[in-house]
Structure formats: C-alpha cells, structure tokens
C-alpha cells in the first residue's frame, strides 16, 4: 500500500502543528484514507536553527526544487506565508501534477482565481480551508454544507488579534495602546500589527468568503476597510451604556444580484450571537435563504487549530486521489460582479460629537439629519468639563451610506461643531 508523500513549505507555528498531527494521528489518517501519510521533505530558511518540534535533519532543505520537482511527492502543503515567491512555488507544484493545500489568506485573496485556474488545467486539487478562521471549517461549510442554499449575508469576527484587543478594552477598561502591547508580548499580535489592527487581514478573509459564499469574483480592492486603532475606552463605555459591544466585523451582504463587502469596527447589540465571542476566538454568522441563521465558532489561529484545518484538506485531497477525481472540485464563479452603490448600502450609525455649549446647537444638528430623512434611535447629551464643550452621542435609524457621508460633511461645516470624535456602524440582532 503506497504511502502518500508530503512536501511541506515552512516549519513555523502551523508547519510544526501539521508535522505533529500527521505523526500523532497516523492511525486516524490510515483509517480515513486507507494508506500511510508521510512528510518526506520540509523547506526551511535555516537548516540548523532550534525548532519547536524535532524532525530528522535529512528531511530539511533550503532548496524549494527538492520538493517542487521531486516526482515522489504527491501533495505540497504551504504554510510559509508570503505572496509573490510563494505563488510561483505553488504554480510550479501544480504544473508538476502535485496537489496543493495552503493556509495563505494573503495569497488566496490576491491570486486565488489564477491558482485555481492552473489547478483545474493540470487536474490538481487546491484546497485552502485554513486561510480563513483557523480551525473553523467555514469554507467547507459554505462549499459543501450549504451548497444547495443561496447565501445572502455573512458577518463575522475573522481576526483574533483585534478581538483580543477589543475584549480586553471592554472587560478590563484598558487603553488600546496598553492592550496592543500585551497582545504583542503574548504573541497574539505581530511586531508590526498594521495588517491586523487596520483591518487588512480581515478584509482578505472576507474577500475569500464573499467569493465562495456569493459565487462571484470579488477583489480585495472591492472591500471597504477601516480598523480599530482609533477606538477609545470612551467609545466602548458609551456603547455599553447603550447596550452595545464593540467588535471588528467583516460584513458581506447580497441583495438581489448586487453585493457589498466591508470590514469596520462595529457596535453590536448585546443580544447578537457575535457579541459574546471573546479574546482570540473567531466566529462567522451566515444567513441562507433556506437554512436561515447559522454560526461557525472556534479558535481562529494557533498551531494545532490551524494545522487541523490543513490536515483535513490533506485528507480531502487523498480521498480524491483514491477515487480519481482530483481537480474537479473547483467551481468557477457563477455570477458577474455587481457591487452596490453607496445609495444601496444601509446601516444604523453611532456618532459622538463635541460641540459648543450654546443654545440652538442641537437644533442645528437635528435639522441636518432631518434634511436627509434620517431620524434618531438613541440620544445622549453630556457636558464636558473643559472649554465650554458639550458631548452629544447619537444612534441613528437606518440610513444609506450616501446620506451618512453627506451628513458627516455638513456636520463638519457647522461653526458650532468642535469635532466628530468617533463614528461607527451599528448592527442589531436582526441583520
């Protein structure tokens, strides 16, 4: 019984987890796929560094061709990260007839359609479950579990770093800078946290989800993105007073044939299923026309949770190998890309304003909203002890993004407005 031979690109946190699972779960894998599974070669940058898992020295190589051009290697697992060189490696592997499993969200968000096309041309599988939400089988859930349904909405917490930061700010009342530093020390945040805290990591994942969920070719630049670096303790505390929890939310919505995809710090009503997702955990809330509401929840990162998704994809590849159907699972997008205009995007909004403490200021503000047909759901007005300034906190009823942007512009033109301190989207239990 021929063993399936694996070439592994990368031996960091996730790569080590993959080696550990394949080694420790060999009996389970044998039962699942009917043959042994063995890692033959591992690409690393430094052959002699100390590693978190012991592997035989002869398994290591710094030359990618030792894996990509080895005819005995059946499957290439990519967990090294990077985009341009990594794309070239995977295209080479596919053209050599090797199946590919990757956890690389950046690569799949930017070049996924090209790689899937190459995989289809060469009769190879390309699976990428671990690229979104770590150990949560969300992609498999969309492609297989909800294949017969029409997905209309997906929203989720798909970045563990930002969820950890916002959880600590909310529960412990600490500042963004303080919690970010702690997250870096604990390894939840990178030394350069920009991709996480400014929403780019989440945007890449939402791109992948939108392509699969809506069967439409969505590009990363189609996603409206804002991050959490300007969220303050004051914002979070006002949200609490109004019954909201702050989360960085990826949001994808289809209405008719048009879609919108965005990532933004969002106030969720406390009874929303995502409001209780804390620390580094991820969750994706999916609404289908037939199934209704479903939620996928679990660890969004980490060595073994992510490696579990990688090895699950590997099992899928090997099962396809056994029955000779590799390269037939990729489905090209069904619908042409149609994006909503700003006048077709609706939400409720939270606004925190500092204004001059004068008679008639609130009337000026309400008249601006009234001209655009936007009313208020909640209002707080509080004095600020310095500089004769009042603070007004507003939560609007649903408004189009066109009206909202125009309202912000007109507010900024008011001589009585000192500053728009913050502005966030608001989502209640019902999307």
Could you give the residue numbers annotated as active site? 205
**Distance between CA atoms of 355 and 361, rounded to whole angstroms?**
7
Tell the residue number behind the tokens 């394949």, with chain if given.
Answer: 22
Scored b (16 or more CB within 10 A) or e, 280-292 reads bbbbbbbbbeeee
- The bridge status of strand 244-255 relative to strand 151-157 is antiparallel
272 neighbors 153 (Cβ within 8 angstroms): no
Dihedral sign for Cα atoms in the order 346, 350, 356, 358: positive
| Partners of 393 in the β-ladder | 352, 380
For residue 325, count other CB atoms closer than 10 A to its CB: 12
Contacts of 59 (CB under 8 A, 6+ apart): 39, 40, 41, 42
**Distance between CA atoms of 277 and 282, rounded to whole angstroms?**
7
**Distance between CA atoms of 101 and 230, rounded to whole angstroms?**
37
Q: Of 414, 399, 316, 306, nearest to 99 (Cα)?
A: 316
- The bridge status of strand 389-396 relative to strand 376-384 is antiparallel
**Distance between CA atoms of 369 and 353, rounded to whole angstroms?**
14
């Amino acid at each position: 019984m021929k063993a399936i031979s694996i070439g592994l690109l990368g031996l960091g946190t996730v790569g080590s987890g993959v080696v550990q699972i394949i080694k420790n779960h060999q009996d389970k894998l044998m039962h699942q796929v009917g043959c042994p599974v063995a890692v033959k070669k591992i690409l690393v940058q430094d052959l002699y560094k100390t590693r978190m898992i012991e592997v035989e020295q002869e398994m290591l190589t710094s030359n990618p061709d030792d894996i990509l051009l080895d005819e005995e290697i059946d499957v290439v697992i990519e967990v090294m990260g990077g985009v341009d060189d990594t794309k070239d490696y995977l295209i080479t592997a596919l053209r050599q007839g090797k199946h590919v499993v990757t956890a690389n969200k950046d690569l799949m968000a930017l070049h996924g359609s090209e790689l899937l096309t190459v995989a289809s041309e060469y009769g190879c599988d390309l699976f990428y479950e671990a690229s979104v939400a770590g150990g949560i089988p969300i992609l498999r859930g969309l492609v297989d579990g909800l294949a017969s349904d029409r997905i209309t909405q997906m929203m989720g917490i798909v970045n563990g770093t930002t969820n950890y930061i916002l959880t600590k700010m909310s529960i412990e009342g600490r500042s963004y800078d303080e919690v970010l530093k702690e997250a870096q020390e604990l390894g939840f945040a990178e030394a350069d946290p920009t991709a996480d805290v400014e929403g780019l990591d989440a945007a890449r994942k939402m791109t992948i989800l939108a392509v699969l969920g809506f069967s439409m070719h969505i590009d990363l630049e189609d996603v409206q993105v804002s991050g959490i670096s300007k969220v303050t303790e004051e914002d979070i505390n006002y949200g609490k007073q109004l019954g909201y929890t702050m989360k960085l939310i990826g949001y994808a919505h289809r209405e008719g044939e048009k879609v919108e995809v965005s990532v933004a710090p969002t106030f969720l009503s406390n009874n929303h299923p995502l409001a209780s997702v804390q620390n580094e955990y991820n969750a994706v809330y999916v609404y289908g026309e037939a199934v209704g509401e479903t939620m996928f929840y679990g660890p969004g990162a980490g060595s073994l949770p992510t490696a579990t998704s990688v090895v699950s994809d590997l099992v899928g590849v090997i099962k396809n190998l056994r029955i000779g159907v590799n390269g037939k699972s990729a489905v090209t997008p069904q619908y042409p890309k149609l994006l909503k205009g700003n006048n077709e995007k609706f939400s409720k909004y939270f606004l925190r304003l500092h204004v001059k403490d004068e008679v008639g200021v609130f009337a000026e503000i309400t008249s601006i909203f009234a001209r655009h047909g936007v009313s208020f759901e909640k209002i707080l007005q509080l004095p600020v002890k310095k500089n004769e300034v009042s603070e007004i906190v507003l939560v609007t009823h649903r408004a189009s993004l066109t009206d909202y942007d125009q309202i912000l512009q007109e507010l900024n033109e008011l001589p009585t407005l000192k500053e728009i301190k913050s502005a966030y989207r608001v989502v209640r239990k019902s999307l």
